[in-house]
Structure formats: C-alpha cells, structure tokens
Amino acid sequence: MLEIKHLSFAFSDQQILREITANYEAGRIHGLVGPNGSGKTTLLKNICRIYYPQKGEVKLLGRDCKTMDRRSLSSLVSLVPQNPKVNFPISVYELVLMGRYPHLKRFQALSKFDREVVEIALQATNSVHLRERSLTELSGGEAQLVLIARALATEAALILLDEPTASLDIGNSLAIMELLLGLKKQGKTILTSVHDLNQARRFCDTITILKDGEIYYYGPSERAFTDVALEEVFRVSLAKTDDFLEFQSLAV
C-alpha cells in the first residue's frame, strides 16, 4: 500500500527526517510512536505531500506521490490532523461533504452518490446527530470524529492520523481507537501516530519507533517495547509487562 524509501526532510539547516525506509501493508493499523520532536508529524505530512519530500520517494499503490496531481493524491490518502481547532462556522455536514471534492471535476455538482457516501461516513463515525451543528460548537472528541468522517468521505485507501486521541478523555480515546479497528475490518489502511504506548501495543499491527528523525524500530507491535527501546528512546524503565505497560521515569 505505502512504500517509503530513503526519505529525508529538513527545515532550513535543521534535519527532521533521515533516510526513512519502510513498507506498510494494506488493511492494517500501523502505529507511529516516538518522543516529541522525533519527526512523526513531519513524516505524515511528507506522505500526503503537505510537505514536499526533499530526498527519497513515497509511493502509494506503486505510484510516486511526487508526480501525482493533487486531486489524484487526495483521492488515495487523507490526513486527520492533531488537536483540530475549528474556528469557521460551517456545519458538520458541509465539512464532511468537502471529502467528496477530490472526486469532482471542475464546476461539477455533488451527486446523489456523493451524498450517500457522506451519510455512510457520518454513520460510521457515530456523527449523524452532529450533522447540523456548527464546527465551532464541537468538543475535541466530536471534532476528531467529524474529521475522520471527512477522511472516510474521500474513500481514500490510506488514512493518516496525527495523534487522534491526544488531549481526549479515556472514553473518547477508546471510541476513536475502536473506530480505527472497524475501518481496518473494512479494508482501510491506517497509519497513525500514537502517544499512548499501551494503545499502540493493543490496537496496532505494526509499530514504527522514531528517534531523532530516524527509524529506531520497525516491525510487529508485540516486539516493539523492549526494556532497551523504552530506556533509549523514551527515557523510561518498564515496571510491569503483563497486559498493561507501567513506566518509571529515568529523567533527572
């Protein structure tokens, strides 16, 4: 589904990503973890070309993202940003409708099918009751669900999420992660940055650990969080290893 080869990216003289190489299988949930500043958000934005890859390549279904037009790229991959702050007063329904725009030709009107896809996206995210609400009236959890609905409305095969449960209470966090499991069952490919390592281990099929802009670990989730990895990357020690990881800070 997604192939990344030798991807590097910098802001001015600050190197953010260094030689990232990974392949992500279709129909899986792939977790992206790492400390703040490790390059998770930058990687996601390079994949969907919000940031233009400076070195290396990103391929979706075998197609080079650098050479794809924006409309074609948007129909294949959709990004749900972190901590959405919506300050413009359009309705939830209008926002989710925007997910259909990559499929429309210039001046083409929305069809009955487009509106049916939007209804399905609202239902899948349990957001039907929010359809007439203004975006400015939504809670953080509601806003995340609505943005996921917009991503679903694009019918993109790959959905990128940037810490979708950050700053949410435990109920909303679990609801969103369970939603991602449902999308996986529908054949969607999910690449999501996750700040909660227990959530990452529980819900993700693979884990990519980033450290200082490089891949520290890439592979099955059950092998990701070793004592050495936790100490070297996150500066914590593992206090409990059963169904729930419990940590102890090593920071001075």
Task: Give the pLDDT score at 240.
Answer: 58
Q: Is residue 6 part of a domain?
A: no
Q: Is residue 57 part of a domain?
A: no
Task: Give the pLDDT score at 131.
Answer: 92
Q: Is residue 227 part of a domain?
A: yes
Task: Give the pLDDT score at 72.
Answer: 85
Task: Give the pLDDT score at 83.
Answer: 67
Task: Give the pLDDT score at 217.
Answer: 95
Range of the domain at 126: 25-49+68-249
Q: Report how far apart, in Å, the C-alpha atoms of 202 and of each of 43, 199, 214, 231 are.
A: 23, 5, 24, 20
Matching residue, tokens 């290893």: 241
Alpha-carbon gap, residue 24 to 110, rounded angstroms: 33
Q: Is residue 14 part of a domain?
A: no
Contact at 8 Å (CB) between 154 and 124?
no
State the total domains in the chain: 1
Q: Is residue 224 part of a domain?
A: yes
Q: Is residue 219 part of a domain?
A: yes
Reading the chain (252 residues) residue by residue, the pLDDT tens digits are: 899 999 999 998 899 999 999 999 999 999 999 999 999 999 999 999 999 889 999 999 999 988 888 888 888 899 988 866 667 788 999 999 988 887 777 777 778 888 899 999 999 888 899 999 998 888 878 888 888 898 888 888 999 999 988 777 888 788 888 889 988 998 999 999 998 888 898 899 999 999 999 999 999 999 998 888 888 998 887 665 666 566 554 544
Q: Which residues pair with 184 in a beta bridge?
A: none
Q: Is residue 8 part of a domain?
A: no
Question: 29-33 and 2-11: which strand pairing?
Answer: unpaired
Q: Report how far apart, in Å, the C-alpha atoms of 25 and of each of 119, 136, 172, 210 are.
A: 28, 37, 27, 19
Task: Give the pLDDT score at 252.
Answer: 42
Whether the model clears a pTM of 0.75, i.e. scores above it, the answer is yes
Alpha-carbon gap, residue 56 to 125, rounded angstroms: 35
Task: Give the pLDDT score at 126.
Answer: 86
CATH number for 104: 3.40.50.300
Q: Is residue 245 part of a domain?
A: yes
